[in-house]
Homo-oligomer: A and B are copies of this chain.
Amino acid sequence: MKQAIDMAVDNVRRDGGPFAALVVRDRIVIASGANQVTRSNDPTAHAEIVAIREACRVLGDYQLTACEIYASCEPCPMCLGAIYWSRPARIYYAATHDDAARAGFDDTFIYRQMASTPSQRTIPMIRVQEELRTRPFEEWARKGDRVRY
């Protein structure tokens, strides 16, 4: 965990956000990531996302079974979603949402938005009535060799 925190401190010095994460398997660090949102013009380049993508590249898999993630801070909703899709065994984190909020990173707001219905969110989410909306799922169901994820 000290390594993740040190990496987050270094990342601030290199014009990144104050976050870093490591992916560990069998006690070996197989990938790491630091926040690169502003440096790489990528709003999804949070530390955990960068580390998960790198770990999957290293493993040649889209699942992180038997891996652990060490995050310098409690994951935001986007990163928590990525964690659920990549399915590591467990997550360790150091700083909390409250620590992050005090530093100006208000994940709590997004967590609250998640709990709202789409039409009540601050970014309007509008459902378009479209008869063909389930066609992609029908195509998927018909596909014999589909790879579930």
Contact = CB atoms under 8 A, between A and B. Distances in A.
Contact of A110 (B84, B91, B111): B84
A8 B15 CA distance: 37
A94 B128 contact: yes
Contacts of A137: 18, 95, 99-100, 102-103
B149 A99 contact: no
A52 interface: yes
A15 to B, nearest CB: 7
A124 to B, nearest CB: 4
Contacts of A141: 103
A27 interface: no
Interface string A108-120: 0011011100100
Contact of A124 (B91, B118, B125): B91
Contacts of A113: 80, 84
Given A5-B132, A5-B135, A94-B128, 4 more contacts: A12-B146, A37-B85, A37-B149, A44-B53
